[in-house]
Each structure stands twice: as C-alpha cells, then as structure tokens.
Structure 1
Amino acid sequence: MRVRAVLSAALMTLAAGLATAAPASAVANGSDVPAGQFGFAAKLTMTNIPRPDGSKYNSACSGALIAAKWIITAGHCFHDANRNRVSGPVPYPTSVLLGTVNQSTPGVVRNVVTVYQASANDIAIATLDADVTGITPLTVNRVTPSVGQQLTLAGWGSLTATNPAPSTKLQQGTVQVGQVAAATLGVRGVAPTSTTSACAYDSGAPYFVAGGSGGQLVSVESTGPDCPHNQLETTSRVDVVADWIASHTG
C-alpha cells in the first residue's frame, strides 16, 4: 500500500526535476472526461516542497471545489519536511486548476492560502486566494455510504505506477463501495474495467455521485496498491467530517 502523494513525490523527483515531467493519462484504465463536465475537479500543483536534507522537489495532488473559496483534498498532500501533516499557512506554493478537462484549455487558476487538517481521517480543506465563480461546487454527503454503492472518480493522476507523471487530461472511472469502516471506504473498480483505479497524483481526488452540473461528494482518495489494480482502494469518508467542514466553509 502506498500513500498517493508520497509515491508521486519520490518518483517525480526521479523522473524529471520536475514541474515539466512528461504527461500521462489520469486514473489508471479510466476514460476521458467530456469537455464541460466536472468543473469542480481540481488539479493541485505543489512546488519547492522541503526535504529533511534541505533540498526541495515538486509534486501534485487532485481535489475538488466544495465552496466558492474552498477545496478539499487528501490531508497528506500538505506536510512538513518530515512528512507530518500540517495546518495553517500553506507550507509551499500550491496552485489549483479548475473548470477544464484539458490542461491546454484555459480554466480557472487559484492559489492555496490556508490549510485545515481533519482529525478523523486523511482529509484537508483549504482556502483559495479568490472566490471561484461559474463552477458549481460539490455538496458534502452526510449519509453513511453503503456497500455496493457506485461512485464516480475524477482525477488528474497517472495512468501507471511505472514512471508516473501528473496528467494533462482529467480522467474518470466508476467504482463500487466494497467496505465501509468508521472513517474510510474501500472501493473497487467497475468501469471502464475492473482494474480502473486511482494512481500516483490522484491523492485527494473526489469520489462522488454525479448530478446536474455538480454532484455529491462521498469520499476522497487516500491510498492503495500500485495501479492499475482490482483490489480495494482506501478513501476517506466526508460524512464523518461534514460538520467540521461546514464549521469552516459556512
């Protein structure tokens, strides 16, 4: 099992140095998201992340818009040099791309300002430097998910665990809940294939029930086996922290 951002940071360093790493498709064995859909899906790009030896590297995560000035992602996407999760002022420059399914097509760009870490699971919410308008945020689910429930995954991660790189295209897949724990969900790929799965740089990617121009967020990506795979992927439930999220976002 590998935390998605930990894997991505290490391999991105080996691959390229790094903000210019070669593009790859996101979500292993997924499919392209049609233009105009899932504008809330966020691509996070981090630069100058510190290491214990004083050197720095770049990395990336996925996430989602949950209010005009707020995004949600994995808690482990924001950490100190020793990989301890941190709250407060963003620990390194982090930009957010929204409102597009292709990095070459103009979207909405914002910067992360302040990070808040959930205590119950691997979730962080963060404020942006300006409101995002014209994009419908995901609503936060407050109902306990059920085994067998199907969810959509949308992420900017890699196609493969071999020499992964952040994608230039947003990808999607369908998963099914296979396990419900106190603060997490275990999900498994359904479509396009049984091996549709999150990959490196998908940390924080939303799992949601699509509806209209938005949808309802059920969980966010945390960790799992090397992709692609047909095993359970660990995601963090948002219903167990819904009150905490609302206390910040209003």
Structure 2
Amino acid sequence: MRQRKRSILAAIGAAAVVLLGSAGPANAIANGEQVKPGRYAFSVKLTMTGIPTADGGKRNSACSGALVAPQWVITAGHCFRDANGVRVERPVADSTIATIGRTDLTDTSKGHELEIVAVRQSATADVSLAKLAEPVRDVRPIRVARTAPEAGDIVRLTGYGSTTSVNPAPVTWLRTGKMEVVGLTDTVTQMRGNSPQADTTPCPYDSGGPFFVERKKKAPALVAVVSNGPSCPHESIESAARVDNLASWVTEVTR
C-alpha cells in the first residue's frame, strides 16, 4: 500500500525505541533540521512501553504530539490502538510517558516526563487527546486554529521521529521542517515537502506531530497532526489529520 499509518511501520521497528539514548545526530523528519534549544517547547515525545500484541506478546513504540492545554496532549488517534489495531480511549501500553519542553531528550535537567492517564478519540479524524497525570504550567500550549489553511500556505512540522522508513529509529533532538498545503478534505490536510528540501517529510515515530502556521508576531496555530504518508523521504502527498475543524471538541475535552 502506498500509504500507511506511521505507527504501524514504527511497530515493525519497535525495538529501535530501546536505542533512543544512542541515536545519532542525523536529521529527524526526513531531511529536516535541528530545532534551537527551547524553541517550539509545546512539542511532545510519547514513549510507549509494553503495548499488547495480537499474539499475546508486547512491543514498544513512540509518537510525537503537542501540548494544547496544561494537562492535555494532541496526537494521532492511531497512537492508541488495542492488540487488534482498533483505536481506543485509554492508554494501551504498560506505560506511556510524555516528555514535554525538552529539545534534547538526553538533557533531563529540563522539561517534564509525565504518565498518560486517559485518552479521548475524535469521532471523525485520526486525532486523539491524551491526558497527563498532572498539569504543565511552565510551557505555553499551542493554540488550535479555527480557520483552515489554504492551498499554497506553508506550515511547519516538529517531531522526534526517525529520518527514514528503512530500519527506523527515533532521534533524541527535536527536528523540524516545512511543507506546503496542496489540498483539503473534511478530515485531511494534504501537503508536499517544501524546505529545507522538496522531500522534507514526516517519518516513523513522527505520528501525531504538529503541523502549524506561523504568521509574523502571532503565536503558532495548530492546523493538523501527522497521520498518513508514503515511505519517507518522499515528494508525494502527505495526508495529515485536520484539526482546525476539531477546535471546539478540543476545547470541550480539555477545559
């Protein structure tokens, strides 16, 4: 299949999660670039250990996300699936840890590591909200846009995922890249790579990573999260899960 859910591919490389501490300096988000320390602090790394599998075993995986309220993280809906691959409204792993406000995951003197204690799934899109064990008060959440991006708009992505679909492994430093909006449906924002290269795209473990618009002095506004796309890097269409039309739902859940 040309398209696939990134956590499915991540599951294939699940053992790579244990390599998190030894990941090299290569660009995550295929052909992306390193984020300056402290920038885009709302970005979140989700680390899942002990996810049940259909054969009765366990696997590890990871996703990306963004803080949208002091006690809530937005991410892809498929980041929380039971052993049969069905999206569920609960943490599925033995432990799901959200790391927030830490550009360099190896620098434990900064940021927060909090357990995910509850999950809410969107009824219409591949989007979920994950509740933290306690609120984060020193990181400004990203605002969820209420206006859809238009074709030609440039959006930024952040994530802690791999650099390639081949033997994927997450990296330890937050990375970023830009993509151009090329289309819109009721549930999907379609994009192509823009910069630093035409094939700058999300990769495994970037699932749920935020796509957001930056407009001069205004705060960033979230418009979509990583959902589906071809093997990375690629110059084809990336199908992100649209969130601008879920803003009221996000507010209702997180208030």
Q: Normalising to structure 2: TM-score of the pair?
A: 0.93
Deviations 1:111-157 (A, max 9, x none): 11100000111000011001111111000111122111110000011
Segments of 4+ moved more than 4 angstroms: 211-214
Corresponding residue for residue 215 of structure 1: 220
One-letter amino acid of the counterpart of residue 166, structure 1 = P
Q: Is the 8 A contact 1:137 1:214 kept in 2?
A: no
1:19 aligns with 2:23: no
Q: 1:249 aligns with which of 245, 248, 254?
A: 254
Give the root-mean-square deviation of aligned CA atoms.
1.4
Corresponding residue for residue 85 of structure 2: 83
One-letter amino acid of the counterpart of residue 23, structure 1 = A
Q: Distance in 2 between matches of 1:35 and 1:60?
A: 22
Corresponding residue for residue 199 of structure 2: 195
Corresponding residue for residue 180 of structure 1: 184
Q: Distance in 2 between matches of 1:110 and 1:224?
A: 29
Q: Distance in 2 between matches of 1:2 and 1:96?
A: 24
Q: 1:123 aligns with which of 121, 127, 151?
A: 127
Residues 213, 103 of structure 1: CA spacing in aligned structure 2 closer, same or farther, 3 A cutoff?
farther
Q: 1:45 aligns with which of 47, 68, 85?
A: 47
Q: Count the aligned residue pairs.
A: 246
Q: Is the 8 A contact 1:120 1:240 kept in 2?
A: no
Q: Percent identity?
A: 41
One-letter amino acid of the counterpart of residue 8, structure 2 = V
Corresponding residue for residue 114 of structure 2: 110
Q: Distance in 2 between matches of 1:57 and 1:126?
A: 20
Give the CA deviation at 1:213.
9.2
Q: Is the 8 A contact 1:151 1:208 kept in 2?
A: yes
Q: Is the 8 A contact 2:45 2:63 kept in 1?
A: yes
Q: Is the 8 A contact 2:104 2:174 kept in 1?
A: yes
Q: Is the 8 A contact 2:223 2:242 kept in 1?
A: yes
1:115 partner SS: strand
One-letter amino acid of the counterpart of residue 203, structure 1 = S
Residues 176, 169 of structure 1: CA spacing in aligned structure 2 closer, same or farther, 3 A cutoff?
same
Q: Distance in 2 between matches of 1:142 and 1:54?
A: 42
Deviations 1:192-215 (A, max 9, x none): 000000000000000002366952
One-letter amino acid of the counterpart of residue 242, structure 1 = A
Q: 1:159 aligns with which of 159, 163, 179?
A: 163
Deviations 1:86-113 (A, max 9, x none): 013x122100111121111232111111
One-letter amino acid of the counterpart of residue 184, structure 2 = V
Instruction: Single out whichever of 23-32 and 135-144 deviates more from structure 2.
Output: 23-32
Give the CA deviation at 1:20.
3.0
One-letter amino acid of the counterpart of residue 116, structure 1 = R
Instruction: Single out whichever of 239-248 and 219-228 deviates more from structure 2.
Output: 239-248
Corresponding residue for residue 4 of structure 1: 6
Residues 82, 102 of structure 1: CA spacing in aligned structure 2 closer, same or farther, 3 A cutoff?
same
Q: Distance in 2 between matches of 1:68 and 1:84?
A: 28
Q: Is the 8 A contact 1:19 1:59 kept in 2?
A: no
One-letter amino acid of the counterpart of residue 144, structure 2 = V
Q: 1:228 aligns with which of 229, 233, 243?
A: 233
